Amino acid sequence: MTASHAFHCLALALLLGCSEPTPIDTSGPVADWPEYGGDKGGLRYSPLDQITAANVDDLEVAWTFRHGDVADGSDGDTRTSFNATPIVAGGSLYFCTGYNRVFSLDPETGEQRWVFDPVQKMKQIDGPYPRTCRGVAYWKSPTDGLAADPGACTERIFTGTLDAELIAIDARTGEPCRDFGAGGRVALRERIGDAEPWEYYPTSPPLVIRDVVVVGALVADNLRVDAPAGVVRAFDVRTGALRWAWDPVPEDWTPEARGGDFTAGTPNVWSILSGDPERGLVFVPTGNASPDYYSGARRGLDRFSSATVALDADTGKWVWDFQTVHHDVWDYDVASQPTLYDFPTEAGPVAAVVQATKMGFVFVLNRETGEPLFPVEERKVPTREIPGETVTPTQPFPTHIEPLHPISFGPEDAWGFTWWDKKACAETIAKLRSQGIFTPPSLEGSVHFPSSVGGANWGGVAIDPERGVMFVNTTRLLSVVQLIPRETYEQMDLSQFGYPNEIYPMAGTPYAVKRGPLLSPLGAPCNPPPWGLLTAVDLASGKILWESVLGSTRDQAPFPMWLEFGSPNLGGPIATAGGVVFIGATTDKFLRGYDARTGELIWKERLPFTANATPLTYRLRKDGKQYLVVAAGGHGWSEPGDAVIAWTLP
């Protein structure tokens, strides 16, 4: 301490206090973040312990990078949504933007090393979807003949684009890998059916496993019965040659029934894949067969709908599946990445898959067989009488972990800031069909609680494998879904509808569908807060350890109505050995840190944009610092942005 520093400390001691900064502990482990979910199994856990619950409040911004790929939709171009979770592998940090440009940065300084621009062709995306790219994948060649060639793209970044291409990029230079496909690109629209450009494209990162790169794709919801095929494909990591394709159709379908190409209307796989290289398995979270809210024309194609499916990584053959929703007409597709966890038992650890769902249900499955590790009960649920359609009378309910979201809602549960708006909500709910979870969409309108947002969504869960604790964020937002007879729909003025109050044609069925949140006259949800939660669950006992409010009304409501009521959230948490759970995800512009043991909010950082992405953390050298990074770039509900921000200890 210098004499000047000592003098100032003495002068300000009574008011501010003064002490030397605590030396940074460099005795702990080093670790990167080589996969979207931290590892191929999506644990979202880091063994790093330099940042702890005791010193997290000392974090300061280390660097900020602005990539510039921002569109707000005002010029006719579709708005962007920067939801990427960067990866850190091979000494570099990589991420993609809504324009599918891929950046490489120095992880410790934020300096740009290179940028790859695919020159996106699609200028306009129909429907509510913003331009989104959630992440990229990394591959490094083993030490073989290829690795000896310095110009052979021995380290590769794989990315999917809105133009429905899979691209391989040299991780060191940012140049396309010319030996992959046609000049570094593989076209993904081949054999998936007649599709508009905005109907089919990948938004989530590919999965690299056993020298193949596996990719699914978003298929636009609720437009038509014969939507583009939901096929999952694997390509050779070196050549781009198609190695296998899984067409999610019933086992008894013949090639003639399939029509030769991949089958239209099948469940798509838009979310994040997981892999177990040791067992040679790929775990696939499936969406709905088309369309989401009417199943009378699916021809049995919901056999693999709303399920977790295990595929052989070498052949693509089906190994097992577990369906989380039967005959799904609620848009309860499996949005969360299947999380691979070794579940401790008295007989030793059992390889498991933990699958969170939009319903707030969490299923724990045997990774090798798909059988539930704990009883799953088939319980009676509401049915409906819609001509040409049947709804299954029961649905699977897990018994080990209690639902993380309420499963019933009636007029008596209505909420408001005042008696007036509470009464208005109750009166609206009383006119709707509301018989609890799995109330089918109806002509009069049905309450959906959980909504199609969740529950849990694509942010997934984080698991601390040392403590056996799962952390998951959920949204609680009342919504209404209504079927509209075709003749009525054709006479409607559709210009009045837009996000979040949406209407879709569901062409090929007798109905269109209208859906949106159920809000009071004052614009607040008709269900009571909290509207967003972060929950910790002991996986061994299935008991909830704590629940903490996640988010506030700030950035959605004017001052002074900034209330700690929680908020809808998209993006996920990470857990660290330092005892802190970090999460953005909310509609307010904050990144938060929670004490992993108590759920206490112990750190909160204001951001330039909402962070609807999952954070990551890394420490690359024994004499180096641990960094915390998040992409802050908005979503459909907030201002689009382009910031990548890193924090570290002083």
Q: How many CB atoms lie within 10 A of CB 369?
A: 12
CA gap 165, 244 in Å, rounded: 17
The answer to whether residue 39 is catalytic is: no
> In this structure, what are the phi and psi dihedrals at residue 62, rounded to the nearest 5 degrees?
-90, -40
Largest distance between two CA atoms of the chain: 87
CA gap 365, 539 in Å, rounded: 12
Residue ranges in 431-526 assigned as alpha helix (H): 486-489
Q: Is the dihedral of CA 634, 68, 196, 262 positive or negative?
A: negative
Among the listed residues 331, 413, 464, 642, the single catalytic one is 331
Contacts of 506 (CB under 8 A, 6+ apart): 222, 223, 224, 225, 291, 293, 294, 512, 513
Beta strands in 127-231 (DSSP E): 131-132, 137-140, 155-160, 165-170, 185-187, 200-201, 207-209, 212-215, 218-219
Pairing of strands 137-140, 155-160: antiparallel
Angle at 219 between CA 485 and CA 81, to 5 degrees: 105
Nearest to 454 by CA among 551, 568, 543, 353: 568
> In this structure, what are the phi and psi dihedrals at residue 394, rounded to the nearest 5 degrees?
-135, 160
CA gap 88, 34 in Å, rounded: 5
Q: Which residue's structure tokens are 């569908």?
A: 513
Amino acid at 32: D
CA dihedral 462, 466, 467, 471 (to 10 degrees): 0
CA gap 365, 359 in Å, rounded: 17
Contacts of 641 (CB under 8 A, 6+ apart): 70, 82, 608, 609, 610, 632, 633, 634
Q: Which residues are annotated as catalytic?
A: 331
